[in-house]
Amino acid sequence: MADIKPIITVRDKNFSASVFARAVDFKGDGNYTDVYSVCLQRGYKDKQTGEWHNQQINFEYDDALIVQNLVQSVYNRVRLFKQKKEEEKNAKK
């Protein structure tokens, strides 16, 4: 089996996003359509063993904006939660 390589890879710290292309014959009629999938990966080091591990999630390229919106929404909600908690803590002083 051939080693499949990404057509695009972007990295930031321990995170990477890679895009893979494959040709798919959806109808079985010999007409292939290019399909793109995304693999998000996070590397981390196990503190006990010192070994590196990877976590990953795969999805179709068309879902990238949905994933972006979900992550941004969670980030904003946690930020507001932490801010509210800090304000409550300061009000008790």
Q: Given a cut of 80, is residue 7 above it in pLDDT?
A: yes
Q: Note the pLDDT of residue 93.
A: 75
> Please, which pLDDT band fits residue 3 given cuts at 50, 70 and 90?
confident
Bridge partners for 20 per DSSP: 37
Residue position matching structure tokens 């976590």: 55
What's the CA gap between 36 and 52, in Å, rounded? 28
Q: Is 87 helix (H, G, I), strand (E, B) or coil?
A: helix
Neighbour order of strands in the sheet with 8-12:
8-12, 15-24, 33-45, 52-60
CATH number 3.10.450 is the correct assignment for the domain at 8-91: yes
Rounded mean pLDDT of 7-22? 96
- Please write the tens of the pLDDT for every residue from 38-84: 999 999 999 999 999 999 999 999 999 999 999 999 999 999 999 99
Domain ranges (residues) in the chain = 8-91
- pLDDT over 80 (residue 15): yes
- For residue 25, what pLDDT band results from cuts at 50, 70 and 90? very high
- pLDDT of 1 over the 80 cut: no
